[in-house]
Structure 1
Amino acid sequence: MQSSKEDIRGFLHLCAKYAEDSLTRKRRRGDSEAEISSWENYLKFTQHTISEINQGKLDHWMKHLSSDDEWRPSPTPPPTSSPTTSTTTSISNQDTDKSIAQTMVELKELEFMPRKFLIDGLIGPRPLAIASTKSNAGLNNLAGITSVCVVSNQPPLLTISLSQYLDGRPRDTLTNLRENGKVTLHILPPTQEMAEITDVVSKPLPRDVSEWDSLTLSPVESPSGECWPPLLPKSVAAFECQVIEILDLPKDGVAKLCVLEIERVIAAEKIIDMAKSGSSIATLCQHRTLRIGPSPESWNYLCDIF
């Protein structure tokens, strides 16, 4: 299958290159908008297909490449309820003295989407942030981030994971971080408006187009100066961070792991006081794949140390 997969990927790359060159010629000639639009759609679809092959989403298609195979692809991910490597064991619950059935799933046997749904469904809710960066050319960028993780309090360090667009281009946030190392992570209120804003700014745009142009909110200059990215109004808080290191992921992971040092926090005095006193602050989170909403807190338990 690997040989077929590489051949298909190489062929699609050639198709994408041809479509890009064709679009250049058609725009130069002044061809009709309908003709140009059809080629743009073809290019986007081809790039999307390449991305799905790279991520392993279409691996199960590779078993059906024969022209006389009657199997038809479906947009629904293949079933994952009975992975071939799953086993069932019994674990004794000492409190109730009852046996609890446990299913063990080998993730390497799952394809991309079933694996993503499984991980996102269990490791969550996760904090959702909007990252604000600025290119060296002065263009402001916004992007939704769901991989924010506190890895150290002394020094104050965060990590975020930044992948690439469907066409293989690095995310603008990553490109800007490589240029000047500055990013502002906005913690968001749990409102429908902010959920919609997150959805808007997370869609891929050309490098020379700013996500701010799609919003009714206007950027606010940081009190730290023009060298820092602008602030997003209505945010709960903003973390101004400097990149310490950008790391490759092992096992040919596409994303880059960015280690950030928090230089300062910008928020209303009330929010600062609440956070420092240990009070809970409602924020927007990712709940399972493609779902965002308020951080739930029906109860809490005070630990001695964590």
Structure 2
Amino acid sequence: MSEEIKSVIIYSRINDESVVFTLIEIVNFLVDQKINVILEKSTNARLGLDLPTLSFNEMTGTADLMIIVGGDGSMISAGRKITDVGIPVLGINRGHLGFLTDLSPKNIRRALYSILKGEYVLEERFLLSTTIKGPKCQQALALNEAVIHGVKTAHMIDFSIFVNNKFMYSQKADGLIVSTPTGSTAYNLSAGGPIIEPSLNVLSLVPMFPHSMNLRPCILSGDSSIKVSFRNRLTPEKITVSCDGQIIMNADDRCEICIEKHKVPIRICHPHTYDYFKVLRSKLGFGTKLVD
């Protein structure tokens, strides 16, 4: 048994009425259970409830748990913002796939009751810190992946990769995906990268459509420092760095892009029945027979 939950922050991007319905149900249940409920400020701007509110910048370990209602995108977005505070996050799926959001809105009261009483497990997952060093320094976090690519579709970039300041290789390709184990089932998987069990301390490097027949995805230590530099002269701001497909930064061939593990992991709260491989099978059809 883990510690009981006494204080909860609730966050949602609220994109339809079904989300509002679920939020109201959760709030009412938590209040009935005598839980201290705090609403993220932009969430309550839509709900208009008479409850305490906090912005992400104001959250400093003020709760035992953050409940995120939405899809994987909401979970990823909130996770990046809350990770340095150290508040665990629990996802309730109101999106599509729901790979990171464990709970279904159906029977949500029963599931939440068990979690409030300490029937949950906490799992730490690391994020990537991506820094663009150049005329304009930029930095962003990613829970899934950092993707480096040209602005133009089907337009190759010419880059070199260094791992812990040691030359790895140079290549022409549409881009490069650097993925965490959490992101291994996202863009990394679509690009031919491996599925990585979330507890492993490794990174996945996947070149995107390389102009080579002898280049494959590569697994590196999660403690590696990766540096990417560019070899061809491009017009400024013709290289894009995307973090989780949500944060977009522009660069050019004068820049270096440095990617490494963020110093603080995110803590994800799972129900005590959580089974990663069951999620793989149910959400992605992992191991499903093509024919009987």
TM class by shorter-chain length? under 0.3
Q: Which has the higher strand share?
A: 2
TM-score between both structures, scaled by the size of structure 2 = 0.23
Q: Which has the higher helix share?
A: 1
TM-score between both structures, scaled by the size of structure 1 = 0.22
Higher relative CO (Cα under 8 Å, sequence separation at least 6) belongs to: 2
